[in-house]
Amino acid sequence: MKFLNPLRPAVLIKRYKRFLADVQLPNGDVITIHCPNTGAMTGCARPGMKVWISDSGNPKRKYRYTWELAETTEGDMICVNTQRANQIAGELLQQGMLEPFTELTAEQKYGYDNRRIDWQGIDANGNLTFIEVKSVTLAVQQQGYFPDTVSERARQHLASLQTMASEGHRAMVLYVVLHSAIRQVSAAEHIDAKYAEACIMAKQAGVEFNAIQCQISAEEIKPSAMICVK
């Protein structure tokens, strides 16, 4: 996934009200930008961090700029825009990096509760496959965790996937790892024990768990390699 326009560097002053952040541009100007991430953003939003922002090009938009990337003091790159995860997942699925799928479609309604699945396709054996995409940015050294805050919604997604698996379809969670330090992913039992328990139940029901590592730069984000989900 290439950024359509060059990202602008800035320095983070603070994130607040979940969807807003103040940053300082290289010329000294301080502006308020949109933060497209509803999570805790632990380790991703420290004041003083170098960040990169995208320009919508629309001066009439209330917050013209969007926060895309952050860089840790160790030099690790993080994509904080959770909307990018689905775009990256679409690229790797269409390229067959996970496995070959045909008839790939995004945002399809499914299941008893009429939810929307991130991606739906047909695998090489003709199985209808439901793929729920999650972005992972919480890192403790090289260990990645999901979620970074208690998430009832994530547990509901697992329940819906479990239902699809019980009906004979393939169902999977695809963690898109958007922190360059992460080498493996686990359920964050220390943050959301119910989600971790739901993962165990989903695996027992046949739900598959995969994770893709990404190369992150101010020019593009590229899916690079599958990594372990424990």
Average pLDDT over residues 45-68: 95
Structure-derived torsion over alpha carbons of residues 155, 185, 224, 74, reported in degrees to the nearest 10: 120
Strands (E), 111-218: 115-123, 128-136, 138-140, 143-146, 170-177, 184-187, 208-216
Residues 81, 114: Cα–Cα separation, whole Å: 26
- Cα dihedral sign, 32-34-40-41: negative
Which pLDDT value is given to residue 113?
Answer: 74
Encoded tokens for 51: 């960040």
Closest CA to 177 of 154, 209, 131, 145: 145
Residue 43 DSSP symbol: T
Helix (H) or strand (E) holding 197: helix 193-204
Phi/psi for 89 (5° steps) reads -60, -40
pLDDT category of residue 59 using cuts at 50, 70 and 90: confident
User: pLDDT at position 110, please?
Assistant: 85
Say whether 42 sits in a helix, a strand or coil: coil
Q: Give the C-alpha distances (Å, rounded to integers) separating 145 from 13, 17, 167.
A: 26, 23, 29
CA dist 197 and 159 (Å) reads 11
pLDDT exceeds 80 at position 2: yes
* 140-166 residue pLDDT tens: 999 999 999 999 999 999 999 999 999
For the chain, list the domains and their CATH numbers: 8-79 (2.40.50.580), 83-229 (3.40.1350.60)
Which structure tokens are listed for 151?
């998430």
